[in-house]
């Protein structure tokens, strides 16, 4: 039983060491940011369904369904509204 | 004497490991650890579900009918504990029994809200994310209380309860002990 616990503890620590990189957006003064509501309206205009928008590491983080109806957790630059991809998630090819 | 049967011990440590793994992976923002976190949640829910069934059909000290005590006995035990003259229970003591129930209930609620958040039906809603996080802190607080109870009871009755959850064995009842 003790060995099992030790193995589990090791597995948790080991997987922590393999964590991927995070997502972040450049710091900018508040005035340069556009509103979250504006991002939501823009995305909804493109066919997204939005359930939550919040701040994350300087980005706007959007939860909902994208224009193809797929579950999405997406990050956007608050100034340009450009989508930002975490390192472990590849950006799709441009259409 | 053998008090905790093999499944009780296995499910106890499975749940403990799953809660720790889920806690670590859940606080590693944002999405790097989703697979670990989800697996830990399913394992925790399965462990609780099995334990609930085992509470009806398992070994004697695993059964709810053996260790879930009414409010009067719980209160009397709490008073005796404050006075430093509480009886030793061979299985769960009255407070420990309720602590176990609360831990299973909160761990189940935590797993279920987490799973619901992954469904299309409830994916992405802030209220569910916040409820899930609040339940996470509730489980953390209960785990703290659980560990405190283990330390206090071990010390009061000169018995290694952590070891007992590995070996299953506890000291046989002596005069004045409660089964």
**Taking the domains of chain B in order of start, what are their residue ranges?**
6-167
Burial class (CB in 10 A: 0-12, 13-18, 19+), A76: buried
pLDDT tens-place string over residues A31-64: 999 999 999 999 999 999 999 999 999 999 999 9
Closest CA to B3 of B129, B154, B166, B176: B166
Q: Please, how many CA atoms are within 13 Å of residue B152, restricted to the half-sphere of its CB?
A: 15
Does the CB of A38 have a partner CB in chain B at under 8 Å?
no
Q: How many other CB atoms are there within 10 angstroms of residue B111's CB atom?
A: 27
Q: Coil, strand, or helix at residue A70?
A: coil
CATH of domain A21-95: 3.10.450
Per-residue pLDDT of chain B (179 residues; tens, 9 = 90+): 999 999 999 999 999 999 999 999 998 765 568 899 999 999 999 999 999 999 999 999 999 999 999 999 999 999 999 999 999 999 999 999 999 999 999 999 999 999 999 999 999 999 999 999 999 999 999 999 999 999 999 999 999 999 999 999 999 999 999 98
Return the structure tokens found at B119. 């469904």
Reported as a pLDDT band with limits 50, 70 and 90, residue A20 is very low
Does the CB of B15 have a partner CB in chain A at under 8 Å?
no
Return the structure tokens found at A77. 């630059």
Return the structure tokens found at B133. 């996080």
Question: How far is Cα B104 from Cα B12, in angstroms, rounded to an integer?
Answer: 10
Spacing of C-alpha A53 from chain mean position: 10
CA Rg value for chain A? 18
- Asked if B24's CB is within 8 angstroms of A71's CB, the reply is no
Q: Coil, strand, or helix at residue B25?
A: helix
Does the CB of B34 have a partner CB in chain A at under 8 Å?
no
Complex ipTM value: 0.73
Under a CB-based contact definition with an 8 Å cutoff, are residues B142 and B109 in contact?
A: no
- Asked if A88's CB is within 8 angstroms of B31's CB, the reply is yes
- Asked if A73's CB is within 8 angstroms of B129's CB, the reply is no
Under a CB-based contact definition with an 8 Å cutoff, are residues B92 and B100 in contact?
A: yes
Return the structure tokens found at B76. 């009397």
This prediction has a pTM of 0.85
Under a CB-based contact definition with an 8 Å cutoff, are residues B57 and B64 in contact?
A: no
- Asked if A16's CB is within 8 angstroms of B28's CB, the reply is yes
Residue B30: the pLDDT is 53
Which residues does chain A have within 8 Å of residue B21's beta carbon, measured at their own beta carbons? 8, 11-12
- Asked if A15's CB is within 8 angstroms of B33's CB, the reply is yes
At the topology level, CATH places domain B6-167 in Fumarate Reductase Cytochrome B subunit (1.20.950)
Residue A16: the pLDDT is 42
Residue A95: the pLDDT is 46
Burial class (CB in 10 A: 0-12, 13-18, 19+), B176: exposed
- Closest approach of chain B CAs to the CA of A6, in angstroms? 10
- Asked if B36's CB is within 8 angstroms of A73's CB, the reply is no
Q: Enumerate the domain spans of chain A.
A: 21-95
**How many residue pairs bridge chain A and chain B with CB atoms within 8 Å of each other?**
63
Which residues does chain A have within 8 Å of residue B123's beta carbon, measured at their own beta carbons? 51, 63-65, 71
Closest CA to B146 of B73, B74, B67, B92: B92
Nearest-CB residue to A19 (from B20, B33, B129): B33
DSSP B89: B
């Amino acid at each position: 039983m003790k060995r099992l616990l030790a193995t589990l503890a090791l597995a948790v620590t080991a997987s922590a060491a393999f964590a991927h990189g995070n997502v972040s957006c450049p710091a900018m003064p508040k005035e340069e940011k556009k509103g979250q509501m504006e991002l939501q309206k823009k995305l909804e205009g493109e066919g997204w369904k939005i359930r939550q928008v919040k701040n994350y590491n300087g980005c706007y983080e959007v939860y909902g369904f994208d224009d193809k109806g797929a579950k999405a957790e997406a990050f956007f630059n608050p100034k340009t509204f450009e989508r930002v991809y975490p390192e472990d998630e590849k950006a799709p090819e441009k259409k | 004497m053998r008090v905790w049967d093999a499944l009780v011990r296995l499910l106890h440590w499975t749940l403990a490991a799953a809660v720790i793994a889920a806690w670590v992976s859940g606080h590693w923002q944002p999405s790097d650890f989703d697979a670990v976190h989800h697996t830990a949640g399913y394992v925790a829910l399965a462990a609780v579900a099995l334990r609930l069934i085992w509470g009806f059909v398992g070994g004697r000290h695993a059964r709810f009918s053996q260790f879930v005590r009414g409010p009067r006995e719980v209160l009397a035990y709490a008073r005796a504990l404050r006075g430093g003259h509480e009886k030793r229970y061979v299985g769960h003591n009255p407070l420990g029994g309720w602590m176990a129930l609360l831990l299973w209930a909160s761990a189940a609620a935590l797993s279920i809200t987490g799973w619901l958040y992954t469904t299309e039906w409830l994916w992405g809603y802030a209220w569910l994310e916040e409820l899930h996080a609040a339940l996470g802190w509730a489980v953390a607080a209960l785990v703290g209380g659980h560990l405190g109870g283990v330390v206090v009871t071990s010390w009061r009755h000169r018995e290694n309860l952590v070891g007992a959850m590995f070996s299953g064995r506890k000291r046989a009842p002596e005069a004045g002990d409660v089964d």
